[in-house]
Structure 1
């Protein structure tokens, strides 16, 4: 019950974000999606700690992610900017929602697959749904920080939305929590960094989230290079040893 309740709470926060957007409360709408992302990161860990994993919970988690990080962000972006050009703007919003659903369907279809090269190496395939929602909100972060209307015009927001939708269904390897290894002598610094991040989110939330989003974007080419190194290392380990050369015979 407990992890499923957390998942249902994340779903409710996602839908509440849409309600806030309808009322023009953009900062509260984004806060609801962010809280949904935090809850989404907690439910799976709670289920593992309580040994309460279930097929029902996995399906509920996928449906919650689709609404909170696909449908809700698409509607928020449409209401905030894309409705200025209803035809093309709605297509971009649909693309974000549909690509999120396709990404989650691909993830579910591969749960029982024996061979998952990215997952076995500690990587995700494509940008995860919560990260995709956060990246899609970058124009709103800029608008909340600067108040500049150029970040809100539909012909700026629409290509960005399509770009993020494409990243979600792409096959590029991206870093996952499983691929992060912190050395023992760096753990205190990591804990201090987490504390400072929490303080920054309270003091300057939109600046902090913008920096986090840009750092994540910057990690995408690093993930590609890191996975390429892993593949080369695996290939060298699996390659057959060269046969010894035959001794030369004299005449």
Structure 2
């Protein structure tokens, strides 16, 4: 997500008179592209083109990771960009995955499946609203320790779509079971709005002796995305789930250290 700082009155007056530069518009254009990718994923799902629907969501995730970094690199943060980013995230990682999963599997349970899809989309929106509400707060224990609160929207969308990836690769009907997916989607929705500490990738600082191994692992993961995308996407989801207990233990250690100092 884009961490934006509101512009002061003088800057806003200059923008109103002279207009925005292309440099300032670039991050917002990338965010709009992510929004289009999420909408296109819904269109693919309506046509039952599940592979392209999932890929469109992952493209939206890549674009979402780029817009904030480019905005900071170009010093082009704005409140408008932050609000646009949240709207794009709510659609691309909340509503779009919910509709994809409902059309793919959850509609076989009609009521309960639809409630699970609604819960997922609503929890994603609530998670984004909570994030925005805390932007200007000084007291953020998780953020000050380098963690996030709850599962971020792109990661949650990736976790929710993992059963589709496994089904596309294996063809096993168990991954398309509506009861399993209803429970799975509802669980991801709970993780969205939970207060648990989750890892923030930007805060990870690998030690020097493992950096070269990490670079090699990233290169192999990229090769896997080209050769076996569904297995690779599923493996990334499994790694993220496996890191959740590690994040809790690590944050608990930091929390105890803070309590001891105070």
Question: How far has the Cα of 1:10 moved from its partner?
Answer: 0.4
> Within the alignment, does 1:52 sit opposite 2:76 as a pair?
yes
Q: Which of 189, 196, 202 is equivalent to 1:178?
A: 202
TM-score, normalized by length of structure 2? 0.89
Root-mean-square deviation over aligned CA pairs: 0.9
User: 5 Å matches for 1:119-134?
Assistant: 119-134=143-158
SS at match of 1:52: coil
Question: How far has the Cα of 1:145 moved from its partner?
Answer: 1.6
Question: How far has the Cα of 1:88 moved from its partner?
Answer: 1.1
In the alignment, what sits opposite 2:121? Answer: 97
TM-score, normalized by length of structure 1? 0.93
Q: Which of 208, 217, 222 is equivalent to 1:198?
A: 222
Does the 8 Å CA contact 1:69/1:132 hold for their aligned counterparts?
A: yes
Alignment partners' CA distance in 1, 2:42 and 2:90: 14
SS at match of 1:206: helix
List alignment gaps of at least 5 residues for structure 1: 239-251
> Within the alignment, does 1:162 sit opposite 2:189 as a pair?
no
In the alignment, what sits opposite 1:72? Answer: 96
- Equivalent pairs counted in the alignment come to 238
Report Cα offsets for 1:9-57 as digits up to 9, x if no partner. Answer: 0010011000001101100000000000000001000000000000000
Alignment partners' CA distance in 2, 1:16 and 1:138: 19
Question: How far has the Cα of 1:95 moved from its partner?
Answer: 0.5
Alignment partners' CA distance in 2, 1:12 and 1:3: 14
In the alignment, what sits opposite 2:238? Answer: 214
Report Cα offsets for 1:57-78 as digits up to 9, x if no partner. Answer: 0000000000000000000000
Q: Which of 29, 49, 59 is equivalent to 1:35?
A: 59
List alignment gaps of at least 5 residues for structure 2: 1-24
Does the 8 Å CA contact 1:123/1:178 hold for their aligned counterparts?
A: no
> Within the alignment, does 1:2 sit opposite 2:22 as a pair?
no
Report Cα offsets for 1:166-196 as digits up to 9, x if no partner. Answer: 0011000000023301223433322222221
Report Cα offsets for 1:187-244 as digits up to 9, x if no partner. Answer: 3322222221111101000101111101111111111100000011112222xxxxxx
SS at match of 1:217: helix
